[in-house]
Structure 1
Amino acid sequence: MARTPSARKTSPAKKTATKKAPRPRKQTQPRPALASPLDLRGGLPTRTTTWMTDLQVYATLAALIAGITTPTIQAWHDHHDGTTTRTLDDGTHLHYTLATRTLRWQTLCPMGAVHEYVLRNPADTDAAQADAESCTRLHWTPPPTNTGTHLSARLQTASKAAADTQPLTLADITAGLQTRADHDQPKGHPQS
């Protein structure tokens, strides 16, 4: 009996493995030698970030509690005496005092005077803004300055200065010189 090819599948001929050429290695730059942690010949590292003070954080939080958003904390000017200030976009000013935990808002009214309000919550802020905007009262006092002088002290100083600068008559000058001559004692020559 003759063999007939069977219906079996025959596997394809095996390929012979060919050697591939080696891939070229990626060229890396040599690393610089690391300095020892104790080697300070290059100088000490410097800090490049700007830090905020605790007072700036407290002031920002107080403003947020009062309903005023102040996104950049570093915009608060820390006076290093327990107080900090900030000018808002509308030209008004916020003042925070750490000792009393007080946030004050200063704004100009339509009549040109500076109004100051203590802000504790959003209701205080809304009421202060409405009060300042609706002010129609004439103000006789000048806007307060940062020096803290009061109007009465300023008026006394001004009236004293005005009295000191009034012109003197010839009789007043003569009387003043005579009084001075009567009370002055001759002074000795200074020894060298």
Structure 2
Amino acid sequence: MNDTVMTIIGIFAVIIAVVLLLAAIAPKGYNIQRSIIINKPRQLVFDYVKYLRNMDNYSKWVMMDPNKRMTYIGTDGTEGYSAAWDSDIKQAGKGNQTKEAIVDGERIDIRVVFIKPFSGVAGTYIATQEVTADTTTVKWAFTSKIPFPVNAMLLFINMEKMLGNDMEESLNNLKRVLEKY
């Protein structure tokens, strides 16, 4: 092999080594949580958020593309209910979310599978906690593991800020919707 080919191979080897080193020291995933106080009773708030279709009215991500194609399986508000989306808008992408567990009045666990623009799986939950008879804290958490060596991107992308800002906007939308009643 000539020197040019060896130089190119050497450069690629260094790039691969750097990516692998960065991935070794990078976080393996993320856990983002946001909360808001809503001036409504806990059961009323819970009964609203337990329906995935209500995300059409408050979730920034769901509202991103009003023309997305949706497919629903099961009965909304129950465990096992699934909503799949397919959007021509890159940021909205394609994926599905399934309700895995419901503790009435307290918490909904949802598994989110992303297909496009990137693949991944995340666990999310929405929990409600009574502050007073007419005031509820809503906590929304989003957790995902990123496979090695793709996790190296977490050194350069602030998921806390990126997803956290979207969650805050969505929770503020939820507060506006519920406090209109």
Q: Above 0.5 in TM-score?
A: no
TM-score normalised by length of structure 2: 0.28
- The higher radius of gyration belongs to 1
Bigger RCO of structures 1 and 2 (CA < 8 A, at least 6 apart):
2
TM-score normalised by length of structure 1: 0.27
